[in-house]
Structure 1
Amino acid sequence: MTHKLCGAAGGVSLSDDEIAANFGDLHKPLSQLQAMQAADHCIYCYDAPCITACPTSIDIPTFIHQIRTRNTEGAAKTILSQNIMGGTCARACPTEVLCEQACVRNHGDEEPVEIGLLQRFAVDHLMAKGGEHPFKRAPESGKRIAVVGAGPAGLSCAHRAAMLGHNVTVFEAKPKSGGLNEYGLAAYKMVDDFAQREVDFLMGVGGIEIKHGQALGKDISLRELRDTYGAVFLGVGLGDTNKLGLDGEDKGGVLDAIQFIEDLRQESNKAHMKVGKHVVVIGGGNTAIDAAVQSRALGAEKVTLVYRRGEEAMSATGFEIELARTNGVTVELWAQPVAIHGNGHVASMVFERTAMDEKNGTLVGTGETFEVRTDMVLKAIGQKLDGSALDGLDLAAGKVSVLDGYATSLTGVFAGGDCVKSGEDLTVQAVEDGKQAAHAIDEFLKV
């Protein structure tokens, strides 16, 4: 583990400089020499398993070979031709369970090729160079497409549709584009305003207009978009958060982790961000880890992450879990919240020990409880789709139902990203959804 927070010992009050240092790059970028050395570790194998492991099917051996031969710009184009948001994915994608896990070098005492860092090296080089956008648009089709949501799925769809010659209008509820990349990832993963720089780069292809402050069901309707545009793509994500369902959940200090992360991302001076002295984070995913580690980075004396099952069931990767432990987060497994105490503001939480019922394989409470003192609770127990503005669309298991090609039950309406069930809830999967949906829309508009 290479990322250790400054002043991480419990009880230490952090200075502004220490807090700023704690939000530095999680993974330091490679120098030219380091990139060449890392590229030399790749054996450019035939039928490379790393390509199959990448949801966007980037030709990984080819782009690494291009770096090795000092064709860094070509390497970036190889990456971006498959994943236009390759810069964010290089920073936040769980490569340790995708391409790097599949790397043929990843066995025995050998380490896998540093694919994520090499991808960042190439894409950052191209973006820093500036100049013309690396991809050209096809001749104007005369067709107009509406995209709802300027997150990874929506932006990926917009970019590919624009490349195919269509004019795209993106409707985004928030004041900034980027979705999860801008609002939902830990600040130490996306330093130097990278999410916005990537949006600006993506927009360089032309043919895309983004309208902010446009919420579906409030400022625009699905019916209106269908009447006005040749096709509609929904990349609305999961706007609602799950609740604990406990009395006292409305007490002061009990917050949604995703809101905490969003507020922190939008705060330019992290030292101004308020954090509890004793923080409890509930959940087992990467959002829970991001909230817990960033609480410590802000100076929380004690952070306890509580998850109702065992570590093997956590959706956070092993790297993320180790990141939390390395930075002083206490990980409490097999426990579920049962009570919130406090007079107006949370003062403690009660948890019940859990276990698996071997007879039917369900999670059950054991009756044994323990109490944790806390002045801030961050809930990271999942998000859900707000379907109130999706009249007429078929839903299944709380998500938008789509057929092959990401077509929904409404003619001319397509969907992708977290709002559909297409695989892992990852930025890289959302990018792939948007890209493939753009090609499906292109075929639809030709009929």
Structure 2
Amino acid sequence: MAEKRPDISGRRLSSSDYAVNFGDIHPPLDAHEALVESDRCYFCHDAPCMQACPTSIDIPLFIRQIQTGHARSAAKTIFDQNIFGGMCARVCPTETLCEEACVRQEAEGKPVKIGLLQRYATDALMGDGVHPYERAAPTGKRVAVVGGGPAGLSCAHRLAMYGHEVTVFEARPKSGGLNEYGIAAYKSTNDFAQKEVDFILGIGGIKVLHGKALGAGLELSDLQKDHDAVFLGIGLQGVNALGAKDEDAAGVEDAVHYIAELRQASDLAGLPVGRRVVVIGGGMTAIDAAVQSKLLGAEDVTILYRRGPGQMKASAYEQHLAQTRGVKIKHWVMPKRVIVEDGKAVGLTCEYTREAAGTLSGTGESFDIPADMIFKAIGQSYVDVTGGRLELEAGRIRVDSLKRTSVAGIWAGGDCVAGGQDLTVASVDDGRRAAESINQYLRA
């Protein structure tokens, strides 16, 4: 937990302020709004929106189903491809995927609100409390899934649907992965992540064991002996270093850990935050850490990124969201040294950068920026917990198009594999694809 001191404290705002600040950022559509929005769809025969969806949801079909008053059928269309359709409707960067490809966007600059329509449909079906799928007859085959995040649970659900017995081994106290621990609280309200986990497990045939981490009492060789197949959805456990002097000083925090702490906090007012916060990074984690710091009561929040706005992993929409919440984004700068007084960070020395012929370098010109808290949000790295048994590629697990690893009987997906998009929706697709491959393997 972040250290408490006079400049890093909680309860900066009133209880009502916290409730408003962390309310649902995109309120759901009502029935009339969903009907009006669905009527905007052209139902294109080539469906560029569908081509842009990593899980290949039949978007024109589900929108047509909403338009004709069959929201629950629309949800089934979505869940057939993406069992995490509810969360993806809330957190998927639709502005750079399906909505960016929408013909309405091309023609008018205003796409059909595909994400909100997806939420409308999935919320309708999940609210019924009835699982839309039934298990096939038991096959007698047993599969181990390591990791209870989007990739692991997507794989587990599909395998259970085919009649296989699945055991999920999850290191943390709760399942859901980054959906539970790593997404901004205002994007997933009212404990939706756990409600979705319960919905997914509602198919039956899936046992979840918490406190089970690969490489910490749980060995890959043992899983292979006790199961007919193994799927690894273990994510990324390592945190990249800044490479700045004194980056381990008190007051320098890992943004991923802070966001997880925030998501699990029973009282947001008690979560310490600095008056002056600096976030280093250009992805979604940086945006989420910065915006939530501001919503917690930080007076001055600045994101520092080494390149330009077009090179940030966070979309233009997310950058705009941060800026409209009072966050400043300073481009073309990199940290050089944490300024420390009495063992605590009080600021950051940065250097301006420039890019020439694709190479980034410092200009030699530097400046200091004061900070009570400094968040590192420069990405995570894969930590090999398999004992070196699997081949790696670009520092992550190498898999083929069917998500098979270099070892027969072991599949992997999500952030831990090479070539991924580091998106919830992409992890879900990995899990589903792996499950299809595992099912064929078990039935051969």
Shift of 1:129: 1.4
2: CA distance between counterparts of 1:208 and 1:21?
37
Choose the corresponding residue for 2:311, options 305, 310, 313. 313
**Counterpart in the other structure of 1:357:** 356
Which is worse superposed, 42-51 or 378-387?
Answer: 42-51
> Does 1:432 pair with 2:426?
no
* Distance apart, 1:24 and its partner CA: 0.4
1:27 is matched with 26
1:377 is the counterpart of 2:377: no
Query: Does the CA contact (< 8 Å) of 1:417 and 1:430 recur in 2?
Result: yes
Structure 1 ranges of 4+ moved more than 2 A: 107-110, 388-391
- Contact kept, 8 Å, 1:247 with 1:339, in 2: the verdict is yes
Correspondence for 2:294: 296
Tell me by how many angstroms 1:107 deviates: 2.2
Match of 2:417 in 1: 420
**Count of residues in Structure 1 that have an aligned counterpart in Structure 2:** 433
Find 2:163's aligned residue among 140, 162, 165: 165
TM-score, with length taken from structure 2: 0.96
Indicate conservation of the 8 Å contact 1:63/1:76, yes or no.
yes
Letter of the aligned partner of 2:94 in structure 1?
T
> Match of 2:302, SS?
strand
> In 2, distance between residues paired with 1:390 and 1:180?
24
The aligned amino acid for 1:113 is V
Aligned-residue offset at 1:270:
1.1
Distance 1:90 1:150 in 2: 20
Q: Secondary structure at the match of 2:46?
A: coil
1:68 CA drift (Å): 0.8
**TM-score in terms of structure 1 length:** 0.95
Aligned residue identity for 2:398: S
How far off is 1:219 after superposition?
2.3
- Equivalent residue of 2:273, what SS? coil
Q: 1:401 aligns with which of 358, 382, 398?
A: 398
Q: Aligned with 1:323: secondary structure?
A: helix
Picking from 207, 219, 222, the partner of 1:221 is: 219
1:47-103 per-position Cα deviation (integer Å, ceiling 9, x unaligned): 211111101011111111111111111011010011000000000000011001111
Within 5 Å, give how 1:197-216 maps onto structure 2.
197-216=195-214
| Deviation (angstroms), 1:144 | 0.2
**Which residue of 2 is the match for residue 68 of structure 1?**
67
Residue type matched to 1:375 in 2? D
- The 2-side partners of 1:422 and 1:350 are apart by 34
The answer on whether the counterparts of 2:29 and 2:117 sit within 8 Å (CA) in structure 1 is yes
Taking the aligned partners of 1:388 and 1:145, their CA distance within structure 2 comes to 19
Give, in angstroms, the shift of residue 390 of structure 1: 4.2
Measure, in 1, the Cα distance between the counterparts of 2:166 and 2:361. Answer: 50
Contact 2:12 2:296 survives alignment (8 Å): no
Stretches of structure 2 lacking an aligned partner (at least 5 in a row): 1-10
Partners in 2 of 1:221 and 1:76 — Cα distance? 38
Q: CA RMSD in A?
A: 1.1
Distance, in Å, in 1 between the alignment partners of 2:333 and 2:303 is: 10
Distance in 1 (CA, whole Å) between partners of 2:191 and 2:124 is 16
Gapped regions of structure 1 (runs ≥ 5)? 1-11
**1:304 to partner: Cα distance:** 0.7
The percentage of counterpart residues that share the same residue type is 55
Corresponding residue of 1:411: 408
How far apart in 1 are the matches of 2:33 and 2:216?
50
